[in-house]
Amino acid sequence: MSRDLSSLRQQLEAQLNILEDRGQRIEQRLSDPGSPDWEENATLHEDDEVLTALSEKAEGDIQEIRLAIQRIDEGTYGTCVRCHSPIAVQRLEALPFTANCITCASHA
């Protein structure tokens, strides 16, 4: 593979750090019993659903990125985890932490 996997790994790790950081901040907000400013507090509660959705999405992304880094380390990066076909380079460029080739992804 001609792609520079070590720089990709660094990029994924940087992204992972950002997501973990964001996830922690979202969880802090969700677990915060409330701000003394009731008006702000009301807004926070309205946002709870949005924040929970964001936090769940971030967790999914974090998991995906961790697995992608693991696949780089194992030397299986760029190979579909389902059918073991090579994943198209264009697809990896668009979705660096994808684990499935386009065929498997479209059958998901």
CB of 62 to Zn ion, least distance (A): 23
**In 3D, which of 58, 3, 2, 1 has the Cα closest to residue 26?**
58
Q: Among 12, 16, 80, 99, which residue sits at the site for Zn ion (rule: CB under 5 A)? A: 80
Decide if residue 92 touches Zn ion (CB under 5 A).
no
**In 3D, which of 83, 64, 65, 93 has the Cα closest to residue 1?**
93
Cβ contact 13:98 at 8 Å: no
Decide if residue 101 touches Zn ion (CB under 5 A).
yes
Residues in the chain: 108
CB of 84 to Zn ion, least distance (A): 7
Which amino acid is residue 99, in one-letter code?
A: A
CB of 92 to Zn ion, least distance (A): 13
Decide if residue 50 touches Zn ion (CB under 5 A).
no
Decide if residue 104 touches Zn ion (CB under 5 A).
yes
